[in-house]
Amino acid sequence: MELAARSMVGGAGSSQEIIVADRYIDCREVSEYGRYTWVTLAQLVGASALADVAALRQRILAEVEAVEGEHGSTRTQKSGFRTGQEDVGEAAPDLADALRRFFHHLKTLPGTVAVDRKAFFPTGKLGKLHLLKPADVLARADEVLHGFTVPANATLAGAADWQRDVQTKRTTLSDALSGKHQARGSTSSSVGSLSAARERFLHVYNVLAKRLIYVVLADLGRLGEYRSFFLDLQVNEDGRPASQTPQTPGTPDSQPGDDAGAVPAA
Asked if 152 and 115 count as a contact pair (C-beta separation under 8 A), the reply is yes
From the CB of residue 233, how many other CB atoms can be counted at a distance below 10 Å? 23
Q: Does residue 98 have a pLDDT over 60? A: yes
**Region 10-19 average pLDDT:** 34
Q: What pLDDT is recorded for position 58?
A: 94
pLDDT for residue 257 is more than 50: no
- The per-residue pLDDT for 260 is 38
CB atoms within 10 A of CB 41: 21
pLDDT tens by residue, 191-244: 668 888 889 999 999 999 999 999 999 999 999 999 999 998 886 544 444 454
Q: Given a cut of 90, is residue 8 above it in pLDDT?
A: no
- Identify the pLDDT of residue 183: 45
- Spacing of C-alpha 211 from chain mean position: 19
Q: Where does the pLDDT of residue 264 fall: very low under 50, low under 70, confident under 90, or very high at 90 and above?
A: very low
Nearest to 68 by CA among 31, 115, 39: 31
Looking at the predicted structure, is the pLDDT value of residue 19 above 50?
A: no
Q: What is the mean pLDDT of the chain?
A: 76
Residue 259: predicted pLDDT:
38
Q: 55-81: per-residue pLDDT in tens?
A: 999 999 999 988 888 766 655 555 444
Cα→Cα distances 140→98, 102, 136, Å: 11, 12, 6
pTM over 0.75: no
